[in-house]
Amino acid sequence: MPNSLLAAKFASKDRELIQIVDAALADAARRSGEWLVCRPGCTQCCVGVFAINQLDALRLRNGLADLVQRAPDRAARIIDRASESARRLSADFPGNATTGVLEEGAQADMNFSHFADDEPCPVLDPETGNCELYESRPMTCRVFGPPVRSQAGLGVCELCYHGASSDEIAACEMKPDPDDLESSVLQGVEENTGARGNTIIAFALRR
């Protein structure tokens, strides 16, 4: 299926997912007040690679395609940064550097946890400190900052919630996708594209 048709097929459900997550973020931010210090230009969460799924990758590529039409010079710089980053990371990439798909399993997770911690996101504008594809950013980026529960417990950005007690932090917990809509949309993307497994932003946007 051509990318344009694929984008249209999943755009509605993805917009619904984004609205749910962004509403949860807004609510958590309201409850957090000054404890949540995330602001434009803060790049704490933009350095060091992290895994994204195929829905994130599709959203990013569609956002980049839109930017090519609106601001081709900016889009070209993103592509250059992504391609350069992918070349730097390929030798030690804990997965298939040709497809960009990460390995799976406990050992693979351990290998990835120490991989490219100092690598800036290629979508980060190094001059302004802003995300060039902010509206198309992955789910990890959308939930970073407020308290979000995982298997490891309730995690927050290390720059936020200074002076807050454990109970106060818990009261600000963000529940980004309570009905797990993302899983069903992701399954549809994987079934229709044939692309499965996690990747990273540089490999998703390289040329």
pLDDT band at 2 (very low <50, low <70, confident <90, very high): very low
Question: What is the pLDDT, as a whole number, of residue 163?
Answer: 95
What is the rounded CA–CA span in Å between residue 123 and residue 204?
11
- Whether 67 contacts 78, CB under 8 Å: yes
In residues, how long is the chain? 207
Q: What are phi and psi of 192, to 5 degrees?
A: -85, -25
Share of the chain above pLDDT 90, in %: 81
Given a cut of 60, whether residue 148 has pLDDT beyond it is: yes
Given a cut of 90, whether residue 153 has pLDDT beyond it is: no
Given a cut of 70, whether residue 5 has pLDDT beyond it is: no
Q: For residues 100-118, b (16+ Cβ closer than 10 Å) or e, as one string?
A: bbbeeeeeeeebbeebbee
Domain ranges of the chain: 3-205
Q: What is the DSSP string of the chain?
A: --HHHHHHHHHHHHHHHHHHHHHHHHHHHHHHGGG----TT--GGGBS---B-HHHHHHHHHHHHHHHHH-HHHHHHHHHHHHHHHHHHHTT-SEETTTTEEP-SHHHHHHHHTS-TTPBPTTB-TTT--BTTGGG--HHHHHSSS-EEETTEEE--TTS-TT--HHHHHTT---S-TT-HHHHHHHHHHHHH---S-B-HHHHH--
How confident is the prediction for the chain on average, in pLDDT?
Answer: 92
Q: For residues 78-87, b (16+ Cβ closer than 10 Å) or e, as one string?
A: bbebbbebbe
Task: Confirm whether pTM is higher than 0.85.
Answer: yes
> Which residues contact residue 148 at a Cβ distance below 8 angstroms, ignoring those fewer than 6 apart?
154, 155, 156, 173, 174, 176
Mean pLDDT of all residues in 148-163: 90
Given a cut of 60, whether residue 139 has pLDDT beyond it is: yes
Q: Which residue has the higher pLDDT, 9 or 104?
A: 104
Given a cut of 70, whether residue 15 has pLDDT beyond it is: yes
Ranges 9-18, 20-29, 79-88: which has the least confidence = 9-18
Given a cut of 60, whether residue 3 has pLDDT beyond it is: no
Per-residue model confidence as pLDDT tens digits over 57-113: 999 999 999 999 999 999 999 999 999 999 999 999 999 999 999 999 988 888 898
Given a cut of 70, whether residue 23 has pLDDT beyond it is: yes
Question: What is the pLDDT, as a whole number, of residue 1?
Answer: 42
